[in-house]
Amino acid sequence: MINYKGKFITFEGNDGCGKSTQLKLLAEYLQARGLDVLLTKEPGGTLPSCTIIRDLLQNPDYKDQMTTMAELFLFEANRSIHTMRLILPSLEQGKIVLCDRYYDSSTAYQGIAGNLGLDLVMMLNRLASHGLIPDLTFYIDAIPEETLDKIGITEFGRLDRLESKPKEEHQRRVDCFRALSLLEPNRIRLIRYIPNKPEEMQRQIRAYIDKLLSNN
C-alpha cells in the first residue's frame, strides 16, 4: 500500500455524463476551503508524452488503424507515466488530486465493451497504476440515451475516436461501471445523472468529500 499525504479522487462515467462539470465544481469548492488541488485527466494529463499518447488514442484519423489491444496498451502506458510523474508526486506534496477517469475506465472500455476480458485488463491496471488506488471514485450513472446527444465536437473538429463507437459499446460500459460500484461500494460512489441539474449532483458529491476529509 502506498502512503501519501494527499487525497486521490477519480470520476468515471459514460461519455457526455457531465464529469468535467462536476470536477470543475468540486475543484472550486475545495480551493475555496484553502486546499491545494490538482485537476488532471486520462488519457492525457499535462505531461507532453501523455499528450502524444492521448492524440493516438482519440484522434479519429487513426480509427481504421487502432486495435482494442493496442488501445489498452496505450492507455496503460499513459497511466504509468501519469501516475509516476504527476499524480504520486502531487499526492506526496499533500495535494488533493482530482482525475477525470482512471483505471476503472480501462476495465469498462477495453475489458468489457472491448471484449478483452477482466483478467488481462485488471492485471495491467495494477501494474500501470503502480499500486495506487483512488481514495474515492464517483461514478456518474447515466444511460446512453440521456447523454450521447450531449457529446460535442472535439479539438479534432468531430467526435473523437472513442466517443464515436457504436451505441452498444456505450451500454456495455454502463453495465460494467454499475457492476464495479456494487463490488467496491466503499470506494465507488454512484451518483445518478440528473439532466440539467449539476448543482444537485454536486451536493451529493460534496457530502461524500466532506466525510472523507473529516475522517482525516
| Tens of pLDDT, residues 82-94 | 999 999 999 999 9
Residue 1 lies in a domain: no
Q: Let me know if residue 55 belongs to a domain.
A: yes
With respect to residue 94, please indicate whether it lies within any of the assigned structural domains. Answer: yes
Tell me if 2 is assigned to some domain.
no
Cite the beta strand spans of 51-109 per DSSP E.
96-100
Contacts of 99 (CB under 8 A, 6+ apart): 8, 9, 10, 11, 40, 41, 42, 87, 134
Whether 85 maps to a domain, the answer reads yes
Which domain CATH number covers 60? Answer: 3.40.50.300
Confidence of residue 153 (pLDDT cuts 50, 70, 90): very low
- Structure confidence at residue 77 (pLDDT): 96
Whole domain around residue 115: which residue ranges?
A: 7-214
* For helices 68-82 and 48-58, angle between their N-to-C axes, nearest 10 degrees: 160
Average pLDDT of span 18-37: 96
Q: What is the three-class DSSP state of 184?
A: coil
- Of residues 37 and 154, which shows the higher confidence score? 37
Nine cell digits for residue 150: 450531449
- Is 200 a member of any domain? yes
64 within a domain of the structure (yes/no):
yes
In a domain, 20, yes or no: yes
Structurally, the chain folds into a number of domains equal to 1
pLDDT higher than 80, residue 164 = no
